[in-house]
Structure 1
Amino acid sequence: MREVIMGYQGEMSLKGLNRNQFESTMMKILRYRLKTVGRFRVYCTQSTFYMEPEEEDIDMDLAFERVSKVFGLAALSRAVVCEKDFDTICQTAEDYLGDSLHGIKTFKVEARRSDKTFPMTSPELMRELGAYLLGRHNYLRVDVKNPQFKVIVEIRDYGAYIHGPKIQGEGGLPVGTSGRALNMLSGGIDSPVAAYRMAKRGLGLDHIHFASPPYTSERAKLKVKALAQLITPYTGSTNLFVVPYTKPQEYIRDNAPDVLFTVLMRRSMMRIANIIARKQGCEALVTGESLAQVASQTVKALQCTDAAQDLPILRPLIGMDKTEIVETARHINTFETSILPYEDCCTIFTPPHPKIRPELSEILEAEAGMPGLAELEAEAAEATERIRLRITDDVEFEG
């Protein structure tokens, strides 16, 4: 039997005249994700991406796992392809899916006929194939509303494709089709989720992290690297920029009003991120901020933060509550790493009672009293370490 992977378009199919560009990007991504598994022929027709192995003994379980995390696919299935002949379809369905019909009580057959030259209509094919399978598995009964298993036959241009229920994909758009941005990766729960959500909208991402040794440890840096690595199956290969932020942070601590420290620090980080982003050709910054979650995430505080630099700041979590964010973190396998108790640059020197409604005028006045900050920020940006991260499904980090 010739097994293939089929990936079904979702939102991409609505892109009109630009659709070819999205499909071309998707095929490049799929080929890249599969190249370490084996040689595959990847092509697109009828709003479906086909991934056909060109070698024997390819691990199709691994291949399916690799492409299941690719944004842009609304659903996927593993299928076998056979001749568009009814007797062949029946035998192939039994050979490929017969074992799946053991141990269940109900099933149904679904058929889709995009090739209208096939002599049987979809209802006829469903009825006759269902009768054939019932003859082989007489303990079954048909349940068209709530079956335990579906046998699906798609009559397409190049053959009959037979598979079980489709697996839900990640949806969204192929990474890279919406530009590129720099994600502020703190090491907490929120920022990896923010990266996931923006990558889902087709945004290519690099990450930036601020480290303040000796206040933050090498283990904290390794934790952030592990988080960036964990989401590469979704975001693709990426760069992690680690900024040595100790001197700017100490300078703000020693020269600014205590109640304004957090917002002043966030503005400083944004200015440094702007420098790195422009060098990388990024068009926006991404943060994991959620409205009113902490003092620096009130409307007034965000207004002050935004005014520090001129790139768009994308906040995909702004309207989400913590339970929704945690649910997504568990889905992308970052939660357990995020909650490891290592120091976060954003939490050191935090005042006990930060101002939750700062005015931009008082922020600018405070910055005017720190003439040495700009030079320290430039030095930190210049000394930033770049770490290249490739796509992998295997990440180990012991807390």
Structure 2
Amino acid sequence: MIWKEILIRYGELSTKGRNKKDFISRLRTNIRHTFSNIAPLDILSERDRMHIRIENEEQFEVLMEKLPKVFGIQSFSPVAVCAKDLEEMKKLSLLIMEQYKNQDITFKVEVRRSDKSFPLESHELQREIGGHVLRNNPNLSVKVKHPDVELRIEVRKDAIYMMAQIVQGAGGMPVGSNGKSLLMLSGGIDSPVAGYLLMKRGVRLEAIHFFSPPYTSENSLTKVKELANELTKFGANIRLHVIPFTEIQVLIKESVPSNTSMTTTRRLMMRIADKVREEIGALGIVTGESLGQVASQTLESLTAINDVTHTPIFRPLIAFDKLEIIQIAEKIGTYETSIQPYEDCCTIFTPANPKTKPKVEKINYYESFTEFDELIERAVRNREVYKFPETNKVKDKFEGLL
């Protein structure tokens, strides 16, 4: 294997000021967490990029597979190394460009010469290496502006570093660099996408799900756990808080007019989420609501739901249409899980004609006849918490014998 390191480019992190090192440190920590199964990693952080040393082919393959999902990385390249000798450089350039041998593409050579003592100037290296590659690859042609491939050569103090492939990263900010919020994870298409978008902006997530057995099945809960686990592939652990919601949901059905029951259900979910948020030290609540998509997501409905909390509510999908949300869900790998036909608590006891423009005063009036506070406290107290990603425990063959 010719690859000796992976060079990571920061992108948006490069625009940061005095606190830039904190963002870089968070990215480095997230990379170590993501690749704990191939630890230890030798990582060198610089102001504008990061280097990961490669020890073996297995390590290289894992890094190439998972790095595109780590937020905070604009792009990365596998890098080969050779001695500071022109003939060695020519040999290595052919090995690197061999991956393009069956493609009719344009290329150019770029040289970064940080070791000024190297005898050949940048333009001389471009001519020597570019000419050698061109003579040995009839499928290639030179294009100085916007070529298909740039063969990049870095002349450093210790050796020559060479790369051509550029893999796009996930962009955004390192998860955890912008605090923590609580994601309301329903099991549908929208909420995992909302969580993904907040994670992309550096927000660490915990998730909350409302479970109403026997009206919702164990399969629906399993689906939500799978979605929470899917989100961890973007570089962070996630805890899922499962709220027993049956008692409250039945009481709502019995206590408020049916056409406002959906609004009350969402309001009580928000009150419960706010209490869990406070316990875990999160700063905001994240939902997958999109304006006007359903009756509970009109501007009037969202105003009524917001009325029960002063906590910031992040709705990253507010202006997205459904097809845009589906495209992101397919891209991040949550769509197929989300469309499994298991109902969540939002789809049970659904009124035939829900209010699309509920008035806050009337909703408060209808709810005033029922005491929900004790039920809310009990639901929060009796929640179950799961941690993802799940770890496969090795079974002790002697377990139970002592």
> What SS is found at the alignment partner of 1:364?
helix
- The residue that corresponds to 1:335 in the other structure is 335
Task: Report how many residues are paired.
Answer: 389
Cα pair distance change 1:337/1:273, threshold 3 Å: same
> What SS is found at the alignment partner of 1:43?
strand
- The residue that corresponds to 2:45 in the other structure is 44
> What SS is found at the alignment partner of 2:343?
coil
- Alpha-carbon separation, structure 1, partners of 2:124 and 2:259: 74
- Alpha-carbon separation, structure 1, partners of 2:133 and 2:257: 77
- The residue that corresponds to 1:307 in the other structure is 307
User: Is structure 2 residue 27 aligned with structure 1 residue 26?
Assistant: yes
User: Is structure 2 residue 12 aligned with structure 1 residue 14?
Assistant: no
What RMSD over aligned residues (CA atoms) do the two structures have, in Å?
A: 1.9
**Structure 1 position 209, deviation (Å):** 0.5
- The residue that corresponds to 2:234 in the other structure is 234
- Cα pair 1:104 1:148 within 8 Å, conserved: no
- Alpha-carbon separation, structure 2, partners of 1:155 and 1:325: 45
- Alpha-carbon separation, structure 2, partners of 1:351 and 1:339: 22
- Alpha-carbon separation, structure 1, partners of 2:382 and 2:158: 56
- Alpha-carbon separation, structure 2, partners of 1:319 and 1:119: 57
- The residue that corresponds to 1:378 in the other structure is 377
TM-score normalised by length of structure 1: 0.92
> What stretches of structure 1 of length at least 5 have no aligned partner?
393-399
- Cα pair 2:230 2:333 within 8 Å, conserved: yes
> What stretches of structure 2 of length at least 5 have no aligned partner?
392-402
Question: Residues 46-85 of structure 1 correspond to what in structure 2 (within 5 A)?
Answer: 46-53=47-54, 55-85=55-85
- Cα pair 1:233 1:391 within 8 Å, conserved: no
- The residue that corresponds to 2:137 in the other structure is 137
> What SS is found at the alignment partner of 1:215?
coil
- The residue that corresponds to 1:288 in the other structure is 288
TM-score normalised by length of structure 2: 0.92
- Alpha-carbon separation, structure 1, partners of 2:149 and 2:201: 32
**Structure 1 position 220, deviation (Å):** 0.3
Aligned-residue sequence identity (percent) comes to: 38
2:229 partner letter: Q
**Structure 1 position 257, deviation (Å):** 1.1
Cα pair distance change 1:120/1:350, threshold 3 Å: farther
- Cα pair 1:71 1:175 within 8 Å, conserved: yes
- Alpha-carbon separation, structure 1, partners of 2:230 and 2:379: 26
**Structure 1 position 159, deviation (Å):** 4.1
2:333 partner letter: N
> What SS is found at the alignment partner of 2:296?
helix
- Cα pair 1:245 1:380 within 8 Å, conserved: yes
2:213 partner letter: P
- Alpha-carbon separation, structure 2, partners of 1:382 and 1:251: 18
- The residue that corresponds to 2:399 in the other structure is none
- The residue that corresponds to 1:3 in the other structure is 4
- The residue that corresponds to 1:107 in the other structure is 106
- The residue that corresponds to 2:263 in the other structure is 263
**Structure 1 position 52, deviation (Å):** 0.5
